Structure formats: structure tokens, C-alpha cells
Amino acid sequence: MPLVTVPLFTVTFLAVVRHAGRDDLTAYAVMAPVLIALWQLSLLDSGEIIEADRWQGVLEVVIAAPANVSTVVLGRVFAVTAVAFLAFIEVWFVARALFGVTIEFHHPGLFLLTLAASGLAMSGTAVIMAALFVLARSARTFQNSLSYPFYVLGGVLVPVSFLPDWLEPLSSVVFLSWSADLLRDSLDPAPVSGAAVRLGMVLALGTGGFVIGRLLLRRILNRVRADGTVGYA
Amino acid sequence: MSALATTVNVMHHAFRAGLADYRAIFTWKSWLAGWMVRVIAQVAFFALIGERLGDDQKTFYLLVGNSILIAAVVGVFSLNMTTAERWAGTLPLLVASPSSPVIVFSARGSYLAVDGALSALAALFVAGPMFGMDLPWPRVLAVVPLTAVVALASYCFGTFLAGIVFRFRSINGLVVLTTHVSLMAACGVNVPLSYYPEALEWLSRVLPVTNGLLAIRGVFDGADVATILGNAALEGAVAVGWMTVALATFNQLASRGRRDGSLDYGA
């Protein structure tokens, strides 16, 4: 579903930068809808995997299977995340058809690597949400609030250097901020500095997310096993 | 009890049920720490584009537009009412009751118009000073009723959409997602209406937000009162128009659902 909004976000962002006569910011406008789709699909849709399994009465079977639950969740999340990459095709088409903008890849290898690393990091992070939505009922109240604060902290459209100084340390632990900068740099003709380290940061933060999600998931599964509420029935 | 008194009684109870729903979703703490953080971040996200463009006027334009858009986003949430009833299994009972479903839904979701206006104003009055925007006193007070009109128009539009979702439940998610971003893209929130093709400009004029936002921008730009009131009246007309369409179509759409047995998920 978030893929439906990608063309509209693309029109909005491209309209803003081009109306201002800032064609140099086109890379910012075209990458933001891709990252937004990635975030929404992975964190919001995939985040509900455990809870949905519970509603459908299949969580018991998932737990009883010999495979590790968090690894299964990660794989399922990654499948959804992979769909989010279709957003880039939508952006490319809208930019070309409505604004006559051709997206040039000056560092295509880095672009693809960053997309892949971002997908992995997003999937790892989504495991946290899958756990939290089951652990805390109130977490669902905040589900709707997990979008724009992270788009700001992640520098999805505007680099984090434009944020107040006190927010920058916080944004550096949001993998989106590293992904967004790298994706934009890969569309820029200038050489990209420290690409390997920055890619490593994306992967490290994603791995950190997965580890935290795995610990949370284990705790949750222990709890629902102990109190006999694996299923709702 | 007269028909009017009965209708008022139904609306009163529906409104209280809506408030109870809202209290179950949010506490004051979660409203402030969850919802308001998101709202202010949303406005800041767009205002930061203005900072990136290096143009204060663009920053303020984006800030005002996206603050007022919040009123529309919340108002349009009223279209979720039918889905909530369907999930709860109470939709068939509601349709079978002697009251008109549209009366119940419109009253039950009306707290969203209030919430939308309050959220939008909070966003404007918090994010505005954060980005150094001047809020000319006492002129800025005119923004309060104008935002309320935008919220009301959006809520009426959402009630109309609720009827569509009532009938075509498979497109519920699609309608929820696209309405918000469509209003953002088409209603002069981020760029002036003149930037888009003329046909889109005309279309946007019958959508909520567009005319009310022009009135609010007029307040900040020092436009004459007649211009502001003219745009406000147009926004009010949009509200009346969408509510009229909702009243005319909602019960018919519900009746069709009753005929083909598609009112609940078990069907």
C-alpha cells in the first residue's frame, strides 16, 4: 500500500525544489520517496508480523517449529522490504514523465550496495517493532508516530546538518541518515568519500536493530508461553 | 419524542461514543508524546526543506501549509469509522437500527474535526516560533476559526469517503493512504496552485484545505478582510457541499451493502 503514495510524494518533493528553481536538489527529491516507502513498508507493515500471526492463530506453530523465530521474522520482513524497492521504479517513471527529469547514476555500484544494505538494515530494525507491538499495547498508539520524527532524524529529504546541533548525535544512530546521504552521494558526480565506512555503519546499525529485536522477541515469547497467551483463543 | 429531538439524541450519544473511542486510544501523555511529536515533526520535515532552499519565505510557506494540512489529515480520519464498526462486528446492527447510519457516523466522528483543528493550531504555534516565523498579534487570532473551518470541511469530506469505503471495503487502505498525500500534493500546501495545470487547480478548489489555506495565508500576508472572508466562505461551501453529498449517498451505499450481505467480514 505505501507504494501507492510514492508517485504523490515524488510530485510533491519535485514540485517544491523545482518551483524554487533548485534543480540541483533533484537527487534529494527523488530519493526521499524511496526511503519513505522502505520505512513505511518495513516498519509499519512488517512490524505487525508477530501480532498478525497471533490473531490468525498460527503463532503456536511458528514457535513450535525448529527454526529460530527471529530468523523467520527477519526473512519475512526482508521479503516485504524487497518489494519496497519497486518504489524506485515508480519515482524514476514519475520524475521522467511529469517533470522530464532523468535520474543519473554516477556511482551505480555504490547505489545498489547502499540500497541492499538499507534493505537489510531496515529489516533488522523492523524486528524491534514486531516485538514491541506485542510487548506493549501502548506501542501501537505510537505506531502512527514512527514516521515523520524518523524522516527528520534520518535526513530523508534534508541532510541532518540542517538539524539543531543537539539532534545530530541522535540522528547518527538512525541508519536512515547514513543511507540517505550515501544514496544522494551516489547520484552526485563528485567522488564519494568514506563509502566503505558509511556502508559499514548502515549494516552495523541494522545488525544492532536485529540483535535488540531478537532479545525482545525472546522475552516476549517466553512471556506468552508462560502465561498461556500465545494465541488469543 | 419528535424526529428532531430523536436525531439530536442519537447524535449526542454517538458523539459520546466517539469521545470514549478517543480516550481509549490516547491518554494526555500519549497524545503529547506520540501524536504531537509526530505532528510537529511532520511540519518541521517540510519547513526544513525551506531551510535547505535557503529561503525564509519558502520555509514559512511550507510551515503554514503543512500545519493546516494536519487539520485535514485528522478530519479525514473519520472515514475509518465504518471500518472500525465492521471490525467490531457492529456494522450490521447499526444499519439495521432505525437511525440513519450517516447521522451516527457523522456525529460519532465529529470529535476528529475538533482534534484536527487543535492539532493543526498546536503545530503552527509551536513550529512557527521554532523556525523564527512571525505570528502577528492579534491578527493571528483569525487563524483559529479559519483552521476550524478547514477541519470541518475535511471532516465532511471524510464522511463522504466513509460512505464509499462502506460500500467498497477492499479499497479502505487505499483511500486512507492516498487522501492524505493527495491533499498534500494538490491543495497548495507546498507550492502555489498556479504551479500545477489549470484543471488541477479547479479540482483542488472543490477539495477541503485549498480555499481555507488561502484565507489563512491571507491573514499572514496582510490581505484585505474581504479576500480572507471570501476564501473562508468558499471553504465553508466546500464543507456544506461534501456533507450534502455524504447525506445523499451514504444511506444508499449502506442499503446496497445490506442487500448483497457485504456489511461484515464474515460475509
Structure confidence by residue, pLDDT tens digits, B122-169: 999 999 999 999 898 889 999 999 999 999 999 999 888 887 877 776
Tell whether A204 is within 8 A of chain B (Cβ): no
Kindly list the residues from chain A whose CB atom is less than 8 angstroms away from the CB atom of residue B53. 16-17, 20, 22, 25
Tell me the Cα Rg of chain A.
19
Tell whether A22 is within 8 A of chain B (Cβ): yes
In percent, the amount of chain B with pLDDT more than 70 equals 95
Kindly list the residues from chain B whose CB atom is less than 8 angstroms away from the CB atom of residue A151. 41, 45
- Nearest residue in A to B22, CA atom: A141
- Nearest residue in B to A1, CA atom: B174
Check A16 against B191: CB less than 8 A apart.
Answer: yes
Residue B173 sits at φ, ψ, to 5 deg, of -60, -40
Burial class from Cβ neighbours inside 10 Å (0-12, 13-18, 19+) for residue B153 reads buried
Tell whether B49 is within 8 A of chain A (Cβ): yes
B266 pLDDT tier (thresholds 50, 70, 90): very low
Tell me the ipTM for this assembly. 0.86
Contact B39, B126 (CB under 8 A): no
Average pLDDT over residues A209-233: 80
Which of these ranges, A40-49, A195-204, B144-153, B254-263, has the smallest mean pLDDT?
Answer: B254-263
| Residue from A142, A158, A171 to probe the interface with B (highest B Cβ count within 10 Å) | A158
Residue A232 sits at φ, ψ, to 5 deg, of -85, -15
The CA-to-CA distance between both ends of chain B, in Å, stands at 36
Cell of B34: 506520540
Considering only the beta carbons, identify the residue of B177, B178, B190 that sits closest to A15.
Answer: B190
Tell whether B130 is within 8 A of chain A (Cβ): no
Could you give the C-alpha distances from B76 to A56, A160, B28, B69, B176, in angstroms and in order? Answer: 30, 32, 22, 11, 8
Could you tell me the sign of the dihedral formed by the alpha carbons of A214, A215, A216, A219, in that order? positive
Check A163 against B177: CB less than 8 A apart.
Answer: no
pLDDT in tens, B11-42: 888 888 888 888 887 888 888 888 899 999 99
Residue A77, C-beta contacts closer than 8 angstroms, at least 6 positions apart: A42, A46, A49, A123, A126, A127, A130
Residue B55 sits at φ, ψ, to 5 deg, of -135, 110
Around Cβ A22, how many Cβ atoms within 10 Å? 18
* Domain residue ranges of chain A, discontinuous segments joined by +: 2-227
Q: Residue with C-alpha cell 515469547?
A: A221
Kindly list the residues from chain A whose CB atom is less than 8 angstroms away from the CB atom of residue B21. none
Burial class from Cβ neighbours inside 10 Å (0-12, 13-18, 19+) for residue B194 reads exposed
Considering only the beta carbons, identify the residue of A8, A25, A148 that sits closest to B185.
Answer: A8
The CA-to-CA distance between both ends of chain A, in Å, stands at 29
Check A142 against B30: CB less than 8 A apart.
Answer: yes
Residue type, A145: S
Residue B55, C-beta contacts closer than 8 angstroms, at least 6 positions apart: A20
Please give, rounded to a whole number of angstroms, the shortest distance from the CA of A204 to a CA of chain B.
26
Around Cβ A215, how many Cβ atoms within 10 Å? 14
What b/e sequence results for B218-228 when a residue is b if at least 16 CB atoms lie within 10 Å of its CB, and e otherwise?
bbbeeeeeeeb
Tell whether B56 is within 8 A of chain A (Cβ): no
Q: What is the DSSP string of B148-186?
A: HHHHHHHHHHHHHHHHHHHH-GGGHHHHHHHHHHHHHHH
A210 pLDDT tier (thresholds 50, 70, 90): confident
Could you give the C-alpha distances from B192 to A116, B61, B89, B120, B140, in angstroms and in order? Answer: 37, 9, 44, 20, 21
Kindly list the residues from chain B whose CB atom is less than 8 angstroms away from the CB atom of residue A19. 191-192, 195
B6 pLDDT tier (thresholds 50, 70, 90): confident
Q: Which residue in B146, B163, B157 sits closest to B105, CA to CA?
A: B163
Residue B100 sits at φ, ψ, to 5 deg, of -75, 130
- Nearest residue in B to A15, CA atom: B191
Check A1 against B44: CB less than 8 A apart.
Answer: no
Average pLDDT over residues A130-136: 73
Kindly list the residues from chain B whose CB atom is less than 8 angstroms away from the CB atom of residue A171. none
Q: How far apart are CA B56 and CA A206, in angstroms?
A: 36
